[in-house]
Amino acid sequence: MTIATLIAAGRLDESLLHGALDRLSAAGLAAEVSSWIDEGDAVDLAIAGGGEAIRSALEGWESVDIIPHADGDRSKRLFVADMDSTMIGQECIDELADYAGVKPQVADITERAMRGELDFGGALAERVALLRGLDENVIGRCLTERVSPNPGAATLVGTLNARDVTTVLVTGGFTAFAEPVARDLGYAYVYANRLEVEKGKLTGRTVGGIVDGARKASVLRETKESLQLGRSQTMAIGDGANDSAMIKLAGLGIGYRPKPALAEVADAVLLNHSLDALLWSLGIPARIGSSAASAPALRNRPGRALGGACTRRMLRRDWRRGRPGGG
């Protein structure tokens, strides 16, 4: 028996609930309501079947998302997340490239890399090279003018922090974007690539080792080990092929509006709802999530720097307005 959280794009009414139960039954999966997390929003179902079969039964139905809990343990102590097109709504390198007049070329490479068609390291080097000569100050403009969190991001991270979950932002993007984003959303730690700058201009190169898919997975693994956690206590979320290794390693791996390559390996996909819907998958009602996210104090744990990545303790500050940010 698998417990799975059913979440509606809008209101989860009787019609949608029975529609989901009927689809599961038609797939040979007996299912019944276990308990409501938030009446009209999210419900736990007890289903006689595995996570893959459950997902397949509801696949393509745009009205709902479903998140199975295969191991039966929904309590998490570590949350690791991708940034671009996951925690924020943009691909920062594409937006930065727009200021350099090369967005179409860079965006095409980004899309192919995120689909898993290109080696990430090579794709990163090729894109960064196209930024050579761009004024360093443009990064700040891009951050202010173009970058914004996805709906529910701050509520999700703030609630997890309040519940003593270690939160880590790990991205194949750049520290110049990732550190302010992590501060705003409340992440305890951030790992990202660093752009090389000389005389106020981008050189078209990065400094140090690369945060790629393997590195993301190692961040999750080593953080889990340092905290002495079991696999079932970890959760990760991402959107591209570069997140696949990390997603497969986590106890609960979520694809957020993912590319097909990631959707194939994720435990569940979130297509129709905002990021804070993940709190329902952990059994946390919305009223608790909202109040926890508004708490001003954030707890930071001591960490250790891992080769090739940048690690920082984060303070909560909105990168656009200099004040605590919303979801």
**Measured on CA atoms in the order 93, 150, 239, 293, is the torsion positive or negative?**
positive
Number of domains in the chain: 2
Looking at residue 1, its pLDDT comes to 85
Q: Give kind and range of the element (H or E) at residue 156.
A: helix 153-162
Helix (H) or strand (E) holding 148: none
State which residues of the chain have pLDDT below 70: 71-72, 289-327
314 in a structural domain: yes
Q: Tell me: do 235 and 267 sit in the same domain.
A: yes
At 264 the three-state DSSP class reads: coil
Q: What range does the domain containing 281 cover?
A: 73-90+149-197+206-327
184 and 281 assigned to the same domain: yes
Same domain, 227 and 174: yes
Q: What is the pLDDT of residue 305?
A: 31
Whether residue 103 lies inside any domain: the answer is no
Tell me if 171 sits within 8 A of 192, measured CB to CB.
yes
Maximal CA-CA distance, the chain: 65
- CA–CA gap between residue 60 and residue 73 (Å, rounded): 27
Do 264 and 219 sit in the same domain of this protein?
yes
Looking at the structure, tell me whether residues 211 and 260 fall in a common domain.
yes
**Looking at the structure, do residues 153 and 85 belong to the same domain, yes or no?**
yes
User: Of the residues 82, 212, 239, 267, which is catalytic?
Assistant: 82
pLDDT for position 294: 53
Instruction: Tell me the C-alpha distance between 153 and 156, whole Å.
Output: 5
| DSSP designation for 150 | P
Same domain, 62 and 80: no
Report the C-alpha gap between 24 and 1 in whole angstroms: 13
Give residue 287's Cα distance to chain centre: 22
Q: Which of 84, 94, 184, 276 is catalytic?
A: 84
The pLDDT of residue 193: 98
Q: Is 84 annotated in the active site?
A: yes
Identify whether 114 is part of a domain: no
Q: Is residue 133 one of the residues assigned to a domain? A: no
Terminal CA-to-CA distance of the chain, rounded, Å? 34
Question: What is the pLDDT, as a whole number, of residue 321?
Answer: 39
Q: Are residues 179 and 302 in the same domain?
A: yes
Quote the pTM value. 0.89
Confirm whether 116 is domain-assigned.
no
State the DSSP code for 84: I
Catalytic residue at 13? no
Write down the pLDDT at residue 299.
33
